[in-house]
Structure 1
Amino acid sequence: MNGLRKGSKALLRDLNKTLVLNEIRTKGPISRTEISQNTGLSLSSITRIADQLIKEGFIYEEGEGESTGGRRPIHLLFNQYYGYIIGIKIEVRKVIFTLSNLNGEIVAKAIKEYVKGSSSNVVMDIILNEIRLWFSKVNGEGKEILGIGIGVSGIVDTQNGILINSSLLGWNNVSFKSEIQRIIDVPVIVDNDVNAYTLAEMMYGAGKNLDNFLLVECGIGIGAGIVLNGEIYRGEFGGAGEIGHIILEKDGAPCYCGQKGCLERYSNEEFIVNRALELAKDNSNSILHNKSNEQVWIDDVREAAKYGDKVAIKAYNEAGYNLGLGLVSAINLFNISTIIMADEGVQAEEWLTPNVLNAVTNSFFSRYIDIEVKKSELGNIGWELGTVALVIKELFQVPLYKDRFTLYSS
């Protein structure tokens, strides 16, 4: 971990500046008097800091508030268009690029597809080319890119911006941060994609007022973001949350990770599709009867379930219960009472969630606490918001550590 900055006047100035700017960013429009009351800083200090922030372009004045007797207070607002952030979500067949302002509002988006199984070098070239294009466009408008956030499946060294391993992508030791900073000198934050989604849920969604929760992603893989005491827990080297590789069945189905009987093999999209097709063989009334794997995707099974197809619903029910059994281990380990479902857990909530809940309410801690299973409030936009949130969190952090970038530290 980077060392703490020594106590100094510069550190105190940065701390106070951070405090004031974040008050305006999160609570604006807000008056100088209200900021003083909220922070405990003197009105003269608030005025001095606000004047400096206005001069630097971080905030601006607008309108007047209600008078409580005397002069009507001037409101301060955060300038969310001070600069922009590029968010990059890497998937199996495509890379999603987003451009957002400093409030996390997405103002532009691009999708670049590539052949599944492509090398990291091929995808890196796509990323670098797109970053060059966006930098040129933003600079041409007289603005700046203030940071780049990347969400990718696998084990990530967040401090050095390196993807250590992604079984899903088949990549190892990909140095995103150094490769990007070789052409453009801005902060580059890289994290596991589920952690990025979890951060977005903490900042903008159902996890906003929760200190402890589990964000569970149900899709091609099964992963989790673990929030403990208001912080994402990443483990020893960025591998925490791989709940898809909890062993559910001894000597069960082989998993690409090298183990057998992993939770993922009994609850992911592939399981749902295969199980539905297996059940449909003996059910001529099913929409999926006599269909093959080449003809059926998860969307088809979901649509069949919506039409009341008993085969499709049963496949989802089984996957949900299996997922719940795996989550019991996480609940017992971390003593967490709230699970937030994302991805297929939202789209197929009607059939997955009741069965997940049925399994987890039989856990050890369910005798002492109410286990709640809720859906993400963000939907698919959570992946994109997450990559942006990685940078926003970094930009507006309290500047306590050396060599950590903030928007305005001395």
Structure 2
Amino acid sequence: MIGKGKTGNTKLVKQMNREGILYQLRQHPRLSRAELSVRTKLSRPCVSSLVDEMIHEGLIHEVGTGESKGGRKPILLEYNVQAYTVVGAVFEGSELEMAIADMKGELLHHVHTRLEQPVDGDSALEALKTNLDTLLEKSGFGRDRVIGIGVGLPGITQKRSGTVSYAPSTGWMNLPVGKEIEERLGIPVILDNDVNMMTMGEFYGGAGSGVSSLVYMYVGTGIGAGIIIDKQFYRGSKEAAGEIGYMLIGGDRLRRQGEFGVFEKNYSVTGICDKAKAAGLAVDPGRSILRQLVEQADQGSRQAGTLLEDVYVHWASGIANTVSVLDPELLILSGEMVHLSESGLTRIRELLAQWVPVLPDIQLAGLRERAGLLGAVHSVLEAFPSAQPARSSGSAGAD
């Protein structure tokens, strides 16, 4: 159990005991060695030895004295959230968001890059390296103080192995991407699907805080979902759970190798833009397509109104298929869906009420682009909770 120590002499047990001490200091700032001994159920000599070791490493600070209970005043300890640092990165289409954070998961500096199209694996790797250098310069941290980087990628990723089995937007197919990133950057890598990272971010610090089960639905250049059941992330047997972009919703159901799924091909941002152009509507690629359709419909465009209703119906179809299987407590709508007007959200709720027997609470994502970065940072903190990991290959996908 996290937060309680274990007895024994092995390296693994020592690591678990360190994590137990740090967990308690994260949950209860400013504890004495005696209080840590009680909370972790470790002996005082064991706690003192590990605490002294972590003070030397800079993970823990002594921060004054507490109230005496009859003897000497106890020395209070505090977790040093800036002992090391963590980096998060999320790719979405031609956009790359990166941030550097402290060990509490608070984002310190942020960098945004628009990648040249078409995006390929090599240009994506180079952008990661360039932005990491920028973040380190801004923050003043040395590379040796970065415990790892969490990277969110579109497509089907295998977090455990650090491979990408299907990512048509970057051309990464069945490749050990985690290892390549690790070799290029020189730091451990945690790889995951971009929507999974966003889901974790909302779960830790956004609309999903305090919720036991939720589905996070994202519409961008593709369509995907993240699934949390009983506070556990659900990935599926091949780590492809949530790939709702492959639902048979929309037009042509034929999909050639290397193409997007049927649902996302028709009702992602790209698909909706293509439909708008085909209907003779003006489209500004730099603005939300949903907002443009609403504006044009309000100005009397029958084509825009028709397409808008078509989008609502098909988005609601994807939601109905998802919630009728999973029955989540909360559904978070994100990506292009955060631009839904009150009337648009009401229309989707009306459709769902006709189609499914029980509706979850439905909310728009609150963290926007910060969700993926926060999730990427937390994926590293979960993998390396107690110290700077060894700089060696094979860290990618640590679970």
The alignment partner of 2:288 has SS state of helix
Please name the residue that 2:282 is paired with: 292
Q: Quick one: which amino acid aligns to residue 391 of structure 1?
A: V
Q: Which moved more, 1:77-86 or 1:146-155?
A: 77-86
How many Å separate the matches in 1 of 2:347 and 2:256?
26
Q: 1:105-184 alignment to 2 at 5 Å?
A: 105-131=106-132, 141=142, 144-184=145-185
Task: Quote the offset at 1:405 in angstroms.
Answer: 6.2
Task: Quote the offset at 1:146 in angstroms.
Answer: 1.2
Q: Is the 8 A contact 2:150 2:380 kept in 1?
A: yes
1:338 to 330, 336, 339: 330
Task: Quote the offset at 1:45 in angstroms.
Answer: 4.8
How many Å separate the matches in 1 of 2:71 and 2:87?
45
Q: Is the 8 A contact 2:293 2:308 kept in 1?
A: no
Distance change (3 Å), C-alpha of 1:292 and 1:185:
closer
How many Å separate the matches in 2 of 1:363 and 1:31?
57
Q: Which moved more, 1:269-278 or 1:233-242?
A: 269-278
- Please list every run of 5 or more consecutive structure 1 residues that lacks an aligned counterpart in the other structure: 1-6, 282-289
Q: Over the residues paired in the alignment, what is the CA RMSD in angstroms?
A: 3.9
Q: Is the 8 A contact 2:290 2:336 kept in 1?
A: no
Task: Quote the offset at 1:16 in angstroms.
Answer: 2.1
The alignment partner of 1:345 has SS state of helix
CA displacement, residues 239-297 of structure 1 (integer Å, 9 cap, x when unaligned): 22111221125x5476677899933355432455456677xx7xxxxxxxx7434x465
Distance change (3 Å), C-alpha of 1:314 and 1:84:
farther
The alignment partner of 1:151 has SS state of strand
Distance change (3 Å), C-alpha of 1:397 and 1:52:
closer
How many Å separate the matches in 2 of 1:234 and 1:50?
36
Please name the residue that 2:360 is paired with: 371
The alignment partner of 2:83 has SS state of coil
Q: Is the 8 A contact 1:345 1:353 kept in 2?
A: no
How many Å separate the matches in 2 of 1:257 and 1:201?
33
- Please list every run of 5 or more consecutive structure 2 residues that lacks an aligned counterpart in the other structure: 1-6, 388-392
Please name the residue that 1:3 is paired with: none
TM-score w.r.t. structure 2 length? 0.79
How many Å separate the matches in 2 of 1:260 and 1:101?
36
The alignment partner of 1:171 has SS state of coil
Q: Quick one: which amino acid aligns to residue 269 of structure 2?
A: E
Please name the residue that 1:384 is paired with: 373
How many Å separate the matches in 2 of 1:167 and 1:63?
55
Task: Quote the offset at 1:180 in angstroms.
Answer: 3.1
1:319 to 311, 319, 331: 311
Task: Quote the offset at 1:9 in angstroms.
Answer: 2.1
How many Å separate the matches in 1 of 2:260 and 2:162?
31
Q: Quick one: which amino acid aligns to residue 292 of structure 1?
A: A
Task: Quote the offset at 1:228 in angstroms.
Answer: 2.1
The alignment partner of 2:89 has SS state of strand
Matched, 1:357 2:358: no
Aligned length: 382
Distance change (3 Å), C-alpha of 1:107 and 1:178:
same
Task: Quote the offset at 1:125 in angstroms.
Answer: 3.1
TM-score w.r.t. structure 1 length? 0.77
Please name the residue that 1:269 is paired with: 269
Q: Which moved more, 1:22-31 or 1:380-389?
A: 22-31
Task: Quote the offset at 1:218 in angstroms.
Answer: 1.9
Q: Is the 8 A contact 1:321 1:352 kept in 2?
A: no
